[in-house]
Structure 1
Amino acid sequence: MHRFIISLLAVILSTSVRAQMMEPVHFTSQLKTLQGNEAEILFTAIIDEGWHVYSTNLGDGGPVSATFNIVKMDGAEPVGKLQTRGKETKQFDKMFDMELRFFEHKATFVQKVRFTKPTYTIDCYLEYGACNDEMCMPPTQVEFKQQGKSPAAAPEKGKAEVEKKAEDEVKAEEAIVADTVAVADTVAADSSMVTVPSSPEDALWAPVIDEMKAMGAGDSLTDHSLLYILLMGFVGGLLAVLMPCIWPIIPMTVSFFLKRAKSDKKKGIRDAITYGLSIIVIYLGLGLLVTAFFGSDTLNAMSTNAVFNIFLFLLLVVFALSFFGWFEIKLPGSWTDKVDTKASETSGLLSIFLMAFTLVLVSFSCTAPIIGLLLVETTTSGNWLAPALGMFGFAFALALPFTLFALFPTWLKQAPKSGSWMTTLKVVLGFVELAFALKFLSVADLAYGWHILDREVFLSLWIVIFALLGAYLCGWLKFQEDEVGGDIRKPMPVLCIMGGLVSLAFAVYMVPGLWGAPCKAVSAFAPPMNTQDFNLNTKTVEAQFTDYEAGMAAARAQGKPVFIDFTGFGCVNCRKMEAAVWTDQRVADRLTRDYVLISLFVDDKTPLAEPLEVTDEQGNTKTLRTVGAKWSYLQSHKFGANAQPYYVILDPITARPLTGSRAYDEDIPAYLDFLNGGLERYRELTK
């Protein structure tokens, strides 16, 4: 009922105003021809003192916005939207509970049109709203009617080409104007603010995969990463061989196979090779099981998940403590007994496979921390092949000595005997695992912005860890296991002392990093430089923008090409590139002076203002809920890549590549060629 009364009062008020012939706004209209086949319809208003006319696109729930309306238009067509000219005022209105935009004293509303025929007929009107501090006028219309010959109409022949060219120019002009206005507000407010695009299919997000391929875009990161994982698995397997629970088993196992077939040495060698292959199959199966259980998307998501990374941190700490001898990780003894009994009861290839499985169970206390570290590294790489490839490298190195000693039994006499050196090796690996554990805590800290493990805190902990490792190898620090079966006063071997000095030197090397030194040797593991509170290094390169749309708009406004850096808080190779390549003065000058640098973190867990629905390459619809998911989708959708670091140079107007992409490669001259090539291409296009 009260709404009806209010509406009735409004009608009475408006009628009263009309009866008094109030005309606070005085409009004139005209058609102004431009160059070519275009013209402008101008609605010019003179506004009485105390009154104001509202601008365009105020939104729902507010006063009447100025709009352009067509009754009939033949021989001409509108171009773009209604524009305004004059001094626009912004003010928050308590009654409407929104920010309003309006004009006082004078205003001009402009609608651009394009002639399409030799003659034209235009019948249109402008609808606007006007108010003062006490009252408002009802929506009012200003008519414009005109017909005649087009001053410069495009010929009928070729008209479509002319119209399309003009339309493209108008769209580009409108995009530049809109983005330039937006970037002023964005930069003033927060350059890291994320703006969800109106459509992932607009010009900024249009795929350029074919163009990147044609330019010879190189993405060698995946190959480098897989090779690194394979080598890391192989080294892990060699270390596992030297553990106390495996090394003594090698001569006994090889001797067993040789004695088993005294009459047929070939059979003994064949059985030993089968034994080694069985070890590979078992560990490779473990890697494939991890891949099948999690899948590539889950592995990539887990790589920066806080709970998962904290779990890995705690797991590696437990493994380190077990290597220090504080407790021993063991599987139930019944498991080993059952598998061993089954191996004795069977014959043929199955018995050999079960013997290999028995070795895996028996050696679990020594190999579990190494396998755990390896699986942690591979699962957090985000590559679905990594766990299987890492386990293959580990198993190959573990099975290699069994096979080689079976083929060449005399080598066993030259092999070192087990002893205290194995305990020393375990403790050293414990320190290494403790250092690696901090990396995973750092990944979670960076992705969620907790700031509990910034760069100087991380370096401080690493300095302490490697200083203690050096003290242990030099014999100044002892563990409980060192007291068992030997004289703790016995001096350490020369090799251990040399390793201890190297570890101490490494700890000293990291000390200047507390004041901002690059420390390139640890840049792959330490948090980025921008997390450091006290930094005397002024040569660091930091991105001007961490938002794609805002950065592209700024590049348009500044007239510079765009350098996009797809990176991640947990990306090891990204930190390496920043420390080894970006710190070069020539590279730093190019990035900061000639480009607009945009860093997009694909593992940023900041929630988007609104979830974004997208369709992937397989046609599946998915919802992007975080900033990192948005940038990850941009990289795969637009550029056809999903590994970091990934660098690409774009034209700020068309959002198309100026040259091929680059991935992880510490070749500074090649990186400079990449930057110079993109800059030269941009200058050619802008001439």
Structure 2
Amino acid sequence: MKKLVLVFTLLFSFLGYSQIFNPVKWSSKVEQKSDNEFVLVMDVIIEDEWHLYSQFTPDGGSQPTAFTFKESKGNYQLVGKTKESPYKKVFNDIFEVDEYYFAKKATFKQTIKVTNPKLKTIKVYVEYQVCKEQCIQGDNTFTFTLPEIKKAAVETASDVVTADSSSVALDSSSVESSEVEKNIKEIAPTSAPKEEKKGLWAIFFLAFFGGFAALLTPCVFPMIPMTVSFFTKQSKTKAEGKKNAILYGVSIILIYVILGSLVTGIFGADSLNALSTNVWFNLIFFGLLVFFATSFLGAFEIVLPNSWANKVDQQADRGGFVGILFMALALAIVSFSCTGPIVGTLLVEAASKGGLAPIIGMLGFSSALALPFMLFAMFPGWMNSLPKSGGWLNTVKVSLGFLELALAFKFLSNADLVVQAHLLEREVFLAIWIAIFGTWAVYLFGKLTLPHDSPLVHLSIGRLFMAVFVTIFTIYLIPGLWGAPLKIISGFPPPMTYSESPNGIGTSGGTSTAAIDLPEHAHSGPHGIIAFHDYEDGLAYANKVGKPILLDFTGHACVNCRKMEDFVWSKPEILSLLKDKVVLVSLYVDDKRELPKDEQYVSKETGKEIITIGNKWSDYQITRYKNNAQPYYIILDSDGKDITQQIGYTPDAAVYKKWLEDGISKFKK
């Protein structure tokens, strides 16, 4: 019975993986804004359960949608960036990044300003990836026909930034408007997806705890009794005191929310999330957080001009709501040396999320900061339960400095991942974190003193527990240098694949790349499997060693390809077959490296120009197997002839093993 199930599973797999998939339908239209301004609209209908990825999905995950506007120089200029309908945001635990995708439908809009009155058509090239159980690399060329443009309108066009129009020559087939676009209604960004709402809640609580941390610093904590004393003496009745305390708390919240609104207004709610993959954004904020951390560790204090505090203090004497508002502003200015780095860090993190995140972040931070001032002013008797100020406040401040320093390297890592410089690979990142948290543990145990620290006679129980916790976390990080997944901090360090030894050192499933005696033109693949990335090289090696070929059509941004490698290929019974019984040839259909000019050609199957290595292998898959989805596997003999049916995403390890063994046994015959 079990064998029968395996046979039927394989049969249905074979039937399902021999066709060209087209899970998206594109349509286009032109909307006229003025005599020389137009909106190019590209709509897409996506089949159920398939996902198309946003332009802003972070690097290191699935492939973002990308638009190239052809021959714009001298003809038209782009006004702003390509806008898109709201996307969903989900953390991908395979790539260890947030991914932004569309389900069922999406709309993209680009405003242009025409500068050539003779311009009749505009061509736009789009590259995209859609995924379900498999991933498909797709592209389209849109041809937009413009109405007649008046020369006078073009001559009065103002200068705007011109987009880079450098690209390869592509086919000119137009995508006509169809009934599909009639069915697509404008997707208004009125309600955030559930995932985005969860993200905002996460930002709120992160900022809320940040506010409590700021409260326990030397600049803020001692101000609580001073503020309570002021309200107690100035208020004629208890009711008036409580009212003033509430107004004071509301004023603190108002000031910080206005700050978050300014950040959103200056950068723009829709464009902030794009910053998270911008190299300069990440480098600048790496430097900024190191600056904040250095201040917290005691090298210097970040202070605003004294004149600001004096002027605000004078206004606080006016009384009424205006006076209370200026008192709250005075608190923000005077405590800036402690709250500034925390606020800056929260704004940086919130800004990278985009949308309303900076406002929500400042709402959370200010709520935590204001709440104790309000409560103690309303109930002065609670003051007796507060711990006394002392050296422990500086310990909190220094601890925040270590956390700031560790977080800074996340931004440096982002920049390194974007440019693929491989300067801050996973091992280096973890070594830095181990050093930071290890030093923090030594500090908490009292073996290291920093400026502004009071003499330490003994460890408090709280400090001891904190020291033990940080030590445990430091020890937890160490196995990561040898390939441990470190799921607790998933998403912070670079992914396992961005590593000196992607499969770990000393593990059963992998080894260091340098330790493998690789054949010519071969690479160390997943789990230390010897792999070829060129078909001819793999075929020559298979002939030499007398083994069959496992032909693997895959992609760098293919999540289910990684799932197969991580959860199926890693099984000992399958890994031994892949290492010893076959020659792995992995052809990446999304490899963006350009082919030499003399190797570029026009596909006889699709009519498209093949100009990259990825184009070449994608066209080879389509031409030979009439299939365009990944992952996609075939076993060939050493002459390159198919000896098995093709198979795609197969998470059942038993089924995949049976398919492998059948192919290997046929080769031996």
TM-score, normalisation: structure 1 = 0.50
Measure the CA separation in 2 of the matches of 1:354 and 1:342.
6
> Cα deviations across residues 600-654 of structure 1 (Å, max 9, x unaligned)?
89xx9x9999xxxxxxxxxxxxxxxxx9xxxxxxxxxxxxxxxxxxxxxxxx969
Aligned to 2:486: 519
Q: CA deviation at 1:201?
A: 8.1
1:234 to 208, 215, 232: 208
Assess, with a 3 A threshold, how the Cα gap between structure 1 residues 279 and 508 changes in structure 2: closer, same or farther: same
Assess, with a 3 A threshold, how the Cα gap between structure 1 residues 499 and 587 changes in structure 2: closer, same or farther: farther
Q: CA deviation at 1:296?
A: 3.1
Consecutive unaligned residues in structure 2, runs of 5 or more: 1-135, 140-166, 511-525, 534-549, 579-585, 597-611, 613-625, 631-648, 656-669
2:421 to 445, 450, 454: 450
Match of 1:530, SS state, is coil
Aligned to 2:386: 415
Measure the CA separation in 1 of the matches of 2:339 and 2:173.
48
1:491 to 446, 458, 465: 458
1:324–1:426 CA contact under 8 A, matched in 2: yes
> Cα deviations across residues 267-313 of structure 1 (Å, max 9, x unaligned)?
21111101100111110010011001001343123212222211111
2:411 to 425, 435, 440: 440
> Cα deviations across residues 363-414 of structure 1 (Å, max 9, x unaligned)?
1001011111101111122x21111111110011000001111222211111
Measure the CA separation in 2 of the matches of 1:261 and 1:195.
74
Measure the CA separation in 1 of the matches of 2:594 and 2:233.
65
2:375 to 404, 414, 422: 404
Measure the CA separation in 2 of the matches of 1:473 and 1:209.
63
Aligned to 1:357: 329
Q: CA deviation at 1:200?
A: 11
Aligned to 1:284: 257
Measure the CA separation in 1 of the matches of 2:216 and 2:476.
30
Aligned to 1:465: 436
Assess, with a 3 A threshold, how the Cα gap between structure 1 residues 560 and 219 changes in structure 2: closer, same or farther: farther
Assess, with a 3 A threshold, how the Cα gap between structure 1 residues 497 and 199 changes in structure 2: closer, same or farther: farther
> Cα deviations across residues 307-347 of structure 1 (Å, max 9, x unaligned)?
22111111111111111111111000000000111221x23
Matched, 1:532 2:499: yes
Measure the CA separation in 1 of the matches of 2:369 and 2:174.
51
Matched, 1:388 2:355: no
Assess, with a 3 A threshold, how the Cα gap between structure 1 residues 255 and 447 changes in structure 2: closer, same or farther: same
> Cα deviations across residues 448-469 of structure 1 (Å, max 9, x unaligned)?
1111111111011111111101
Aligned to 1:311: 284
Measure the CA separation in 1 of the matches of 2:312 and 2:423.
47
Aligned to 1:370: 342
Aligned to 1:165: none
Assess, with a 3 A threshold, how the Cα gap between structure 1 residues 502 and 300 changes in structure 2: closer, same or farther: same
Q: CA deviation at 1:349?
A: 1.0
Give the AA of the match of 2:264: T
Aligned to 1:47: none
2:241–2:378 CA contact under 8 A, matched in 1: no
Match of 1:477, SS state, is coil
Measure the CA separation in 1 of the matches of 2:477 and 2:399.
19
Measure the CA separation in 1 of the matches of 2:414 and 2:478.
22
1:323 to 296, 300, 305: 296
Match of 2:459, SS state, is coil
Measure the CA separation in 2 of the matches of 1:545 and 1:284.
55
Give the AA of the match of 1:245: C
Measure the CA separation in 1 of the matches of 2:173 and 2:229.
66
Equivalent residues in 2 for 1:113-124, closer than 5 Å:
none
Equivalent residues in 2 for 1:60-209, closer than 5 Å:
none
Aligned to 1:104: none
Measure the CA separation in 2 of the matches of 1:254 and 1:320.
31
Assess, with a 3 A threshold, how the Cα gap between structure 1 residues 348 and 219 changes in structure 2: closer, same or farther: closer
Aligned to 1:506: 473
Give the AA of the match of 2:229: S
Please tell me whether Structure 1 or Structure 2 has the larger radius of gyration of its CA atoms: 1
Measure the CA separation in 1 of the matches of 2:182 and 2:629.
9
Measure the CA separation in 2 of the matches of 1:523 and 1:502.
19
Measure the CA separation in 2 of the matches of 1:587 and 1:260.
73
> Cα deviations across residues 102-159 of structure 1 (Å, max 9, x unaligned)?
xxxxxxxxxxxxxxxxxxxxxxxxxxxxxxxxxxxxxxxxxxxxxxxxxxxxxxxxxx
1:545–1:598 CA contact under 8 A, matched in 2: no
Give the AA of the match of 1:322: S
Matched, 1:481 2:452: yes
Aligned to 1:225: 199
Assess, with a 3 A threshold, how the Cα gap between structure 1 residues 461 and 655 changes in structure 2: closer, same or farther: closer
Measure the CA separation in 2 of the matches of 1:675 and 1:197.
37
Aligned to 2:99: none
Matched, 1:244 2:218: yes
Equivalent residues in 2 for 1:591-610, closer than 5 Å:
none
RMSD: 5.0
Equivalent residues in 2 for 1:47-66, closer than 5 Å:
none
Measure the CA separation in 2 of the matches of 1:200 and 1:588.
44
Q: CA deviation at 1:598?
A: 9.0
Measure the CA separation in 2 of the matches of 1:207 and 1:424.
61
Measure the CA separation in 2 of the matches of 1:356 and 1:306.
37
Assess, with a 3 A threshold, how the Cα gap between structure 1 residues 441 and 198 changes in structure 2: closer, same or farther: farther
2:275–2:352 CA contact under 8 A, matched in 1: yes
Measure the CA separation in 2 of the matches of 1:597 and 1:270.
70
2:567 to 579, 585, 588: 585
Matched, 1:336 2:309: yes
Measure the CA separation in 2 of the matches of 1:326 and 1:599.
51
Measure the CA separation in 2 of the matches of 1:597 and 1:425.
52
Measure the CA separation in 2 of the matches of 1:499 and 1:221.
33
Measure the CA separation in 2 of the matches of 1:286 and 1:545.
54
Q: CA deviation at 1:515?
A: 1.9
Measure the CA separation in 2 of the matches of 1:371 and 1:674.
48
Assess, with a 3 A threshold, how the Cα gap between structure 1 residues 475 and 408 changes in structure 2: closer, same or farther: same
Assess, with a 3 A threshold, how the Cα gap between structure 1 residues 674 and 533 changes in structure 2: closer, same or farther: closer
1:233–1:393 CA contact under 8 A, matched in 2: yes
Assess, with a 3 A threshold, how the Cα gap between structure 1 residues 338 and 515 changes in structure 2: closer, same or farther: same
Assess, with a 3 A threshold, how the Cα gap between structure 1 residues 586 and 531 changes in structure 2: closer, same or farther: closer
Q: CA deviation at 1:259?
A: 2.1
Measure the CA separation in 2 of the matches of 1:349 and 1:608.
69
Match of 2:268, SS state, is helix
Match of 2:299, SS state, is coil
Measure the CA separation in 2 of the matches of 1:366 and 1:416.
19
1:563–1:598 CA contact under 8 A, matched in 2: yes
Give the AA of the match of 2:460: P
Aligned to 1:66: none
Match of 1:317, SS state, is helix
Give the AA of the match of 1:417: K
1:565–1:599 CA contact under 8 A, matched in 2: no
Consecutive unaligned residues in structure 1, runs of 5 or more: 1-178, 183-193, 547-557, 568-573, 610-626, 628-651, 657-672, 680-687
